[in-house]
């Protein structure tokens, strides 16, 4: 796995890239996480086969937080950052994977992702101002998601909310990412959401017209289970993949099944007509 930083929008930005080749698959993480949220995947057999590119958003990991993100900004602004990341690569085609905030940033920038061959959303069902209240449960962190300064105990509470079984390794990884995040980003994001700076992600996804998978952790403490099922009523053509015994951070709680699912997604979007490249493992998802 390669690690480097590069200027995007004038922001020194962290990239982690797997050893694989081919059309790139771009990964974006959630609030108070980082590019290393996908380290296990990038270092897996899937990462050895395919070019997986994980990027730290502004104020996360080793990516700087510029002045424009130190005040109120919108999810769409983060989406514009993802567009510029991919413009810098200039691929003929690519796939998008986004977890939580990263997924919503992709949704709110879909019209600019003209060469994207598919979209995979992790714990990020599309919402609008009219549905956001139905999508989310009461915040299990008690507001820590949008709090600037966190105590050690608060960092632990924050991290525990993301997983259904808090293994020592997962907790250490999550806590480190939370500590490395610039807290100003959290508070500015919270102010943006409080002011209703949200686009109609449902309509944007309707217009996308390319394969879209949504991965759902059935033990997610942030997203209402019923909301995922309600998406069909909005006329969306998506494939829902539920993960049992799994929380908000699916890539940590179910790392092996997550990697297999990502490979299926890549093959579905890039080589669906080439039987020789189809995966030889069947994956069953429980509802």
Nearest of 150, 11, 140 to residue 69 by alpha carbon: 11
281 belongs to a structural domain: no
For residue 44, give the CATH number of its domain.
3.40.50.1820
190 belongs to a structural domain: yes
285 belongs to a structural domain: no
Is this structure's pTM higher than 0.85? yes
pLDDT per residue over 175-221, tens digit each?
999 999 999 999 999 999 999 999 999 999 999 999 999 999 999 99
Range of the domain at 193: 2-274
Question: In the prediction, which pLDDT does 271 show?
Answer: 78
26 belongs to a structural domain: yes
158 belongs to a structural domain: yes
DSSP designation for 57:
P
DSSP secondary structure of 117-155 = EEEEEES-----TTTHHHHB---TTTTGGG-SS--HHHH
pLDDT per residue over 128-161, tens digit each?
999 999 999 999 999 999 999 999 999 999 999 9
Identify the band that residue 287 occupies on the pLDDT scale cut at 50, 70 and 90. very low
32 belongs to a structural domain: yes
90 belongs to a structural domain: yes
284 belongs to a structural domain: no
Question: In the prediction, which pLDDT does 16 show?
Answer: 99
Q: How many domains is the chain built from?
A: 1
């Amino acid at each position: 796995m390669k690690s480097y930083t590069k200027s995007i929008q004038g922001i020194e930005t962290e990239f982690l890239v797997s050893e694989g080749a081919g059309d790139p698959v771009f990964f974006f993480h959630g609030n108070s996480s980082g590019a290393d949220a996908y380290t296990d995947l990038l270092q897996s057999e899937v990462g050895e086969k395919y070019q997986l590119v994980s990027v730290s958003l502004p104020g996360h990991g080793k990516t700087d937080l510029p002045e424009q993100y130190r005040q109120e900004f919108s999810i769409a602004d983060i989406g514009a950052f993802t567009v510029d990341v991919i413009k810098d690569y200039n691929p003929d085609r690519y796939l998008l994977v986004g977890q939580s905030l990263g997924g919503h940033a992709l949704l709110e920038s879909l019209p600019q992702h003209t060469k994207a061959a598919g979209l995979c959303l992790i714990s990020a069902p599309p919402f609008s101002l009219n549905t956001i209240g139905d999508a989310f449960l009461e915040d299990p962190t008690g507001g820590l998601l949008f709090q600037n300064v966190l105590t050690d105990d608060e960092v632990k509470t924050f991290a525990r909310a993301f997983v259904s079984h808090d293994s020592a390794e997962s907790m250490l990884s999550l806590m480190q990412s939370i500590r490395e995040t610039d807290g100003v980003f959290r508070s500015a994001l919270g102010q943006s959401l409080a002011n209703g700076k949200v686009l109609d992600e449902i309509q944007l996804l309707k217009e996308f017209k390319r394969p879209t998978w949504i991965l759902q952790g059935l033990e997610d403490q942030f997203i209402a289970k019923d909301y995922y099922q309600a998406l069909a009523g909005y006329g969306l053509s998506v494939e829902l993949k539920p993960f049992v015994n799994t929380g908000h951070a699916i890539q940590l709680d179910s790392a092996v099944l997550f990697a297999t699912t990502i490979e299926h997604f890549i093959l579905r979007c890039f080589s669906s007509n080439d039987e020789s490249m189809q995966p030889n493992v069947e994956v069953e998802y429980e509802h």
